[in-house]
Structure 1
Amino acid sequence: MKPTLISYSRVSSAKQLEGTGIEQQQDYKLLNQLSKEYGLPIDERTFSDEGLSGFHSHNLQGEFGRILQLISTGSIIKGSILVITSLDRLSRAKTNDAMELMLSVINRGIRIYTAMDSKLYCSDSPNLTADLIVSVIIMAQAHEESLKKSKRTKGNALALIERFHKGERAADGNPIAIKSVGSLPWWVESSDGSVKPHPYYFGVAQWIAQQSLSGVGTTKLLSDLNELYTPPNGKGWYRTTVTRFTKSKSLTGLAVFTLDGVEHELSGYFPQVITEDEFYQIQARKKTATHSRTSKNKPTILNGLQVLKCRSCGGGMNYYTAGGRKAYRCINGMTNRAKCKGMSCSSEPVHEAVKRSLTWFSVQPKPVKEDKVTPVVARLDEAQAKLNQMEADYMESPSNIMAKMLAQVEQDVEALRIELEETRLSQASTDDFGTFDEPETTDEYRDVIVRSVNTVQVHKMGRKEMLISIYFKSGLNKHYYIKNNEVLQEGILYYEPQAELDLLDKANWMLFVADGRLNQWIDTGKPLDVLPDPWEE
C-alpha cells in the first residue's frame, strides 16, 4: 500500500446540503492538482459526514471516526494527505479537544491540507510551532462561532417551548414548529412552519400501528409495507425503521427536546398516531416475544413463548422433531442432569389441553381489573410538585443541605417515572387477557396465549401419562390428567386460589405428589378442599 490523497467533507445543516457545501468540499479539480504537486494518487475512498455536528463531535461517530480508525489500523498509510476545506471541518469543539484531534492525525504521520488557505500541516514541518499557533486561533474562532450559534438556537427553542406550554399555536391551529433543535418523525411535516400530519405517511404510520396492535410480526409487516407503500427514503422499508417506530413515544404525540442536559416534554406536539394505552399494549406484545427468527422449527402454539415449564425442575421446555415424533423436552434435562433427570412428552396432548383450557377460560366470568396506574401517577405528581417547590426555594436561598435534599427528591421522581413506565407496561399486558374470539390458526392461538396464560406446567407421571396445568393471568387455572393421549380427568385442584398458587412452589408440589393428594384428585375429579359457603358469615 502507498500513501494517498484522501478527501473528507462535513456539513452539519440542511442549508449546507442544499447549497454549495458538499460540491465545494469535494472539489476533484483541487485533488487532481494536489495529486500532481505531491505525487500521490487520489484514494478511491471518499469520506463525507452529512448533517453531523462538529461542535458536538457527532462526526466522530460517522465517517471521520472511520478515518481515525483506519489511521490507527494502518489502512491509511503514513505520508498520506487528508484534504479538507478548513480545520473547522475536523471539529468545532472546545479548542483543547479540537487540537487533540488534529494532533492525533498529524502525529501518526498523516498530513492535513486545508483548501481555504492552501496550507499543509505535518509533524515534521520546520514551521510546526507557527502552524500550531495558527490552528489554535482558527479552531478557537470556530468554536466561539458555534457556541454563539448554539446559544441563539437554544434561546429560540426555549422561547418556542414556552409559547407551546402557554397554548400558542400557528394560524392553522397546529403547534408552531421548533425547527432549530431535534428532528421530525417521518410521518410528520412542518414545511409551512406548523407541525402537522404528513399527507401520505401519516396514514401509513396509522396502518403500521394498527397492524402491530393486532399482533402482526415484523417480518410480515415489512413484506406488506414494501408491497403496499412507498418508503420515506425512497429505497425500502427496513426492520430498524419498524422497530424504532413501535418503540417511539412520539406515536402518542409526545416530543422531547434536550437542551443543556434538561429534557423538555411537549405532550401533543406531534399529531397522535395512537393513544398512550395502545402504545403500552404494543410494548407488552413486543416484550412477550413470539417465535424466535433463528429457530429451525415451524412455530407451534407454544414454542418460543416461554410459558411451557417442566414441573420437576421449573426449567423451560423446547419443541423438537425426530423420526416423525413431535415433542417437548426439558432444557435442564438436556444440558444439566444435576438439575433435572430430563423429561420429554408428546406435543399433541399438551396442545389439546391448552386449547381446551382456552375454550373453557373464554366463558368464565372475569375479575374487575385493578387500576394500578392512577395511584402511581398521583404519587409522581406529588413528588414532582415537591421537587418544583424545592427548586424554587433553593434558587432563593441555596445551601448544601438543601442541595442534598434536592438531589434525593430528584432520584425519587426518576424512580417513580420508571415505576410508572413498568406499571403501564404490566397493565397493558393483561388489560385484554380475557377478551378474544375463538382462535383458529397457530398465530391466533399464540396471540391469545401471550395475552391470557401465565404458565403451562407439565408433570410427567409415566410413559404417555402426565398432568398438564394451565395457570391464567386472571388467577384462574385448569388441570388435565392425560393418559395414552386421552384426557381422563379435568378440573381444579382447590377451590381456594392461594392453595392452587402455592403448588407452583417446587417443594409444595413434590409434597402434594408424595402424600397422594394428586392421585386422590385423579380418582375423584373433585377439588381437595371444601367449597366455601356463600351464606357463612
Structure 2
Amino acid sequence: MESRKAYSYIRFSSPDQARGDSYRRQRAAAEAYCAAKGLELVDSEEYRFFDKGRSAYKGEHLGDMGQLARFLRHVRDETIPKGSVLIVESLDRLSRAEVWDALPRFLDILNQGIDIYTSSDDTLYTAKFDAQQLILSIFNMSRAHNESSLKADRVGKVWRRKQDDAREFGKALGAACPYWIRYVNGAYELIPERVKVVKDIFRLAENGYGHRVIAKKLNEAGIPVFGSNRRNSTGLWGGSSCAKILSNRALIGEYQPTGLEDDGSGVKRTKRGEPVSNFFPAVLSEEEFYSAQAARDSRRISKSSKQSADFNVWQGIAKCVKCGGPMHLVNKGAPPKGGKYLRCYVSSKGACPSKLIRFDICQIVFKEMLAKINSISLVKNTQSDLNRELNTINSKIGEIQNRQKELKDQVLSMGGRIPSMLVSTMAVLEDKLAEYRVLQNKLHLDIGEQRITSKDDFFARLDLVSYEGRSRANALVKRLHIVVEMERREDDAVFRIRDAGGFLFSIIYDNDNHISYWGNSKDAHALITAHGDEIAFLKSLPELAVGENDLFDLAREVAGLERLYKDILSKK
C-alpha cells in the first residue's frame, strides 16, 4: 500500500531568523514526524514550499509569489492529492492575520482533504475536528496575531523614538545605514573603497552612461556589489542597483524618516516629515549629485536606452523638417557606395518624402551649432561650474514644486481644514522657491555673458571624439531645449536650430561644401560676425550689396517669410 504523502511548509520573515537555526529546525521536525508516522516526505524541487523573508502578519506569503499560495493552488487542482499532510512548525507559520481572516483559510485547507500537523505542540488537525480542537486552533491563531500586532507596535514606537532623536539631536540610528557608511563607536564613518565606487557611478552617469551600462562596467572591473548574498545571490551589479544609488539623497547627507501607514488601500511606506539635513557624512556635493540627475533626466526625456561605442551626438535632438519625426542614424555599409546617414523614422516607414542626409555633413554642422549656442562649458571650467550650479537650482525648484503638490493634495483630503503647521511649511516653501528663482535668473544671465569669441580656439579644445565628450555635448544641447529641424534639398542640406523660445538660426551646407548662415536676431548676427562667418553669410545673398544693419533687417524678414511660407504650406 502506498504511504501517505507529506509536504513541509517553512516560513520565516526576518534576516535574524535566516542567520539562525529556523530553517534547519523546521526541516528536521518534518523529517522526524514522517519517519515516526510512516509518511513519505515529498522532497523534489517542485514540491518544496519555502517562504524566506515573507511576513504572515502582512499576508505576504499569500501573494502571487508566496509559496503557501502555490501549495494551495496545487491542492485545488489536485496535483497534491487528498489525504496528504501539510507539516508546519505552528499555526502562526500559516497566518498571523486577524482570526476571522485566518480561520476560513485554515478550514479551507482541511475541507480540501489535507491534514495539518504542527510540530511545536505535536497536534494533528483534520477535517473531522471536534469543537475543542477548533477552539484550540482559534486560540492559537488569536495569540499569533496579537503577538505580531504587539511586536509591530513596539518596534514602531522604538523606531519613531529613534527618528525623533535623529531629527532633534542628530543621534545616529545604529547599524541601519547606507552601504557606503559604517557605524563605529556611536557615530557614522565613510567606507573609503565604497565611496570610490559611488563616485565612479556618478561620474559615469554624468558622462551619459545609462544604468545598465554602468552596471556592466562595474562587473567587468570585478567590483563586488554592495549588500549581502541574501539580497543579491548573483553578487553582480544590475541596472536597478545603480539606479537606487544614483537617486539616494543620503549621499548628500540627508536622512528621510519613513514609516508604514495604512491609507485605506493597504499598508504603505510613507515619509514622516521633512528630511534631516547633514545627518550622514556626505559623499558628494549638491552640485555633483544634481549634475548626475540632470544627465539622467536628459536621457529620460529623449527616451534613449541603446548605447553604442560611438555615441550619436544627434540622439534626441534631430527632427525631420517635413513631418517632425525623429532622425535616426543608419549605416548603409562601407564607403564609397555605403556610409552613415541620418534618416527620418517616418520616411523609413514610407510615410514621409524626406531624403537621407550624410552623417559626416551632420557632424560638421553639429560643431558649428555648438559654437553659436551657450556651449562654452564643454571647454571652460568656469562655465561648467555655472551649469552645475544651475542644475542644482533647477532640481531644487522641481523638488519644492513636487512638495507643494503633495501639501496641496493633503489640504484637499482634509476638506478645507488646514493645520497651522501645514500653513507654516507652505510659507517656508514659497520663500525658498522665490529665493531659488532669483538665483536661477542670475545664473542664466551669468551663463549668457560667457560667449565663444574664438571659434578656432573652441574647436581645438572641443572633444567630440571620445564617448564621454560626445555624450556631454548631446546632454548640454538637450538641457538648452534645442531641437534641430533638418532637410536634404537638391543643392544643399538645411539645419534649422530652435529652442523653447522659437527659431534661432539656420545652417546651410551646400554641395560645394560651403557653409552659410541665416540669423534671426541681432545677437545671432553679432555672433556670426564675431566668428568671421559674415562672408559666408553674405555669400548666401551674392546679388545683394547692403550694409550690416540692412543685412540684419533683411535676414530677419527672410526668416519671417520662411515661417509664413511654412504656415501657408501647412494649411494647404
TM-score scaled by length of structure 2 = 0.68
Greater displacement, 376-385 / 481-490? 376-385
How do residues 164-313 of structure 1 correspond to structure 2 at under 5 angstroms?
164-169=166-171, 175-177=172-174, 184-190=177-183, 193-198=186-191, 200-226=193-219, 227-232=221-226, 233=228, 235-261=235-261, 263-264=271-272, 265-289=275-299, 299-302=310-313, 305-313=315-323
5 Å-filtered alignment, 1:401-480, equals: 403-406=415-418, 438-443=462-467, 444-453=469-478, 454-460=481-487, 462-463=489-490, 465-471=492-498, 477-480=504-507
Q: Letter of the 1:330 partner, please give it.
A: C
Change (3 A) 1:206 1:101: farther
Q: Is the 8 A contact 2:50 2:67 kept in 1?
A: no
For residue 455 of structure 1, report the CA deviation from its aligned partner. Answer: 3.5
CA-CA distance at 1:126 after TM superposition: 1.2
Q: Which amino acid aligns with 1:255?
A: Y
For residues 168-199 of structure 1, the C-alpha deviation after alignment (integer angstroms, 9 at most, x for no partner) is 53xxxxx242x6xxx53322333655443346
SS where residue 493 of structure 2 aligns? strand
CA distance in 1, matches of 2:364, 2:17: 65
**2:290, 2:395 within 8 Å by CA — same for their partners in 1?**
no
1:345 aligns with 2:353: no
Residue type of the alignment partner of 1:257 = P
Task: Kindly indicate which of the two structures has a greater share of residues assigned to helix.
Answer: 2
2:519 maps to which residue?
492
CA RMSD of aligned residues (A): 4.8
Cα distance change, pair 478–57 in 1 and its aligned pair in 2 (3 A): same
CA distance in 2, matches of 1:529, 1:410: 57
Are the equivalent residues in 2 in contact too, given 1:307–1:455 (CA < 8 A)?
A: yes
Structure 2: gaps (5+ residues):
230-234, 262-269, 452-457, 525-538, 557-572
8 A Cα contact 1:455 1:471, kept in partner: yes
**Which residue is equivalent to 1:119?**
123
Report the equivalent of 1:26.
27
Task: Indicate the SS of the match to 2:55.
Answer: coil
Provide the rounded CA distance (Å) in 1 between the counterparts of 2:348 and 2:316.
17
Output the amino acid matched with 2:348. Answer: M
From the superposition, tell whether residues 495 and 199 of structure 1 become closer, same or farther in structure 2 (CA, over 3 Å).
Answer: closer
Q: CA deviation at 1:127?
A: 0.9
- CA 220–97 in structure 1, closer or farther in 2 if over 3 Å, else same: same
1:97 aligns with 2:80: no
Question: What residue number does 2:324 align with?
Answer: 314
- SS state at 1:354 partner: helix
Give 2:562's aligned residue.
none
- 2:514 match: secondary structure: strand
Aligned residues: 477
What is the CA-CA distance between 1:493 and the residue it aligns to?
A: 3.3
SS in 1 for 2:316: coil
Matched letter for residue 346 of structure 2 = N
Correspondent of 1:155 among 149, 154, 157:
157
Paired residue secondary structure (2:58):
coil
Over 3 Å counting, the alpha-carbon distance change for 1:375 and 1:457 in structure 2 is closer
Separation (CA, whole Å) in 2 of partners of 1:520 and 1:479:
12
Distance, in Å, in 1 between the alignment partners of 2:344 and 2:101 is 56
Contact map agreement 2:320 2:344 (CA 8 A) in 1? yes
Hey, what's the Cα distance between the residues in 2 that align with 1:348 and 1:383?
Answer: 47
Letter in 2 for 1:357: M
Contact persistence 1:3–1:76 (CA under 8 A): no
SS of residue paired to 2:271: strand
Query: Could you tell me which amino acid in structure 1 is paired with residue 87 of structure 2?
Result: V
Q: Which amino acid aligns with 2:339?
A: R
* 8 Å contact kept, 2:181–2:190: yes
Q: Distance in 2 between matches of 1:51 and 1:354?
A: 54
**Whole-angstrom CA distance in 1 between matches of 2:109 and 2:204:** 50
Aligned partners of 1:119, 1:58: CA distance in 2, in Å? 25
- CA gap of 1:7–1:39, structure 2 versus 1, over 3 A, is closer
Alpha-carbon distance in structure 2 between the residues aligned to 1:523 and 1:103? 96
Equivalent-residue separation in structure 2 for 1:347 and 1:220 (angstroms): 25
Comparing 183-192 with 237-246, which one deviates more in the overlay? 183-192
Q: 1:87 to 1:384 in 2, by over 3 A?
A: closer
Secondary structure in 1 aligned to 2:474?
Answer: helix
Match of 1:55 in 2: 57
Provide the residue aligned with 2:508 in structure 1: 481
Give the Cα–Cα distance (whole angstroms) in 2 for the partners of residues 277 and 251 of structure 1. 12
Partner Cα separation in structure 1 for residue 552 and residue 42 of structure 2: 87
Unaligned runs of 5+ in 1: 170-174, 391-399, 498-518, 532-537
Say whether the 8 Å CA contact 2:496–2:505 is kept in structure 1.
Answer: yes
> Partners of 1:373 and 1:385 in 2: how far apart?
19
What residue number does 1:354 align with?
366
Q: Is the 8 A contact 2:254 2:276 kept in 1?
A: yes
